[in-house]
Amino acid sequence: MAGNAGPLTLDGTRSYIVGQSVVVVIDPGPPLEEHLQALATELESAAEVRVVATHAHGDHAGGAAALAERTGGELWGPGVGRDLWDGQELATDWGPVVAVSTPGHSRRHFCFRHPAAGAVFTGDLILGEGDTTWVGEYSGAVAEYLSSLDTVESLDARVLYPGHGSPLADPAEAIARYRTHRLRRIEQVRRALAETGTGDPRELARAVYGNLPPELFEMATAGVRAAVEYIGGS
């Protein structure tokens, strides 16, 4: 657990080590010395290390290059190292870790499936608390996010390990919860469009969310803009 708890990171970024001698490290987190040193210490006995990021946001990938350098490991991940592709297998001595393309939270986002454990590491697609993650970074984000939830559902995981928050022992319930929230948010924006008569995302964000701190308001506005686009194309 990285020491970066906050409103957007919940209890902090969770980094995962799969394997013992041949290892994959998923989401090494931000460039915090204490956290990177803790990971490096855990990896001292590993013969092979691959450092991978679910996506390029700094709270997940900011420390990736530094950890790869410390461990002599390979660096993989969108915008951070070698490019991943859907279905790519990364070897560990506990069985392969498989990259699964799941855009939505960011344009290039991957979950990682560990079939031997029935586990899926979800990055920021699904968090360990609540029922929402940010979806508004790019055009088409909402449609891709909903499709990515379907993708993860099809994996029939027994447990989900999120980038923030506690593990989820009932994947079907968690996926349904996140899907329901997103569809309800879309309907809120649809109603706001009808009731306010405006297409201005900032005005719509105020109608949907009320008063928010500036940083959260900008993110909410981006999310509303993405929902309006989705509504227009549906």
pLDDT in tens, 145-198: 999 999 999 999 999 999 999 999 999 999 999 999 999 999 999 999 999 999
pLDDT, tens only, 201-214 = 999 999 999 999 99
- 129: which 2 tokens? 């608390």
The number of beta carbons lying within 10 Å of the beta carbon of residue 146 is 17
Residue 234 has pLDDT above 80, yes or no: no
pLDDT, tens only, 42-65 = 999 999 999 999 999 999 999 999
Residue 110 belongs to some domain of the structure? yes
Query: Percent of the chain beyond pLDDT 70?
Result: 100
Residue 178 belongs to some domain of the structure? no
What's the pTM value of the predicted model, to 2 decimals? 0.96
Whole-angstrom CA distances from 186 to 142, 181, 183, 203, 231 are 9, 9, 5, 15, 7
Residue 211 belongs to some domain of the structure? no
Supply the range of the domain harboring residue 84: 16-170
Contact 199, 228 (CB under 8 A): yes
Q: What is the pLDDT of residue 233?
A: 78
* CATH number for position 44: 3.60.15.10
Please tell me the total count of domains within the chain: 1
Q: What is the pLDDT of residue 85?
A: 97
Residue 183 belongs to some domain of the structure? no
Residue 212 belongs to some domain of the structure? no
Residue 60 belongs to some domain of the structure? yes
Query: Percent of the chain beyond pLDDT 90?
Result: 97
Residue 129 belongs to some domain of the structure? yes
Residue 121 belongs to some domain of the structure? yes
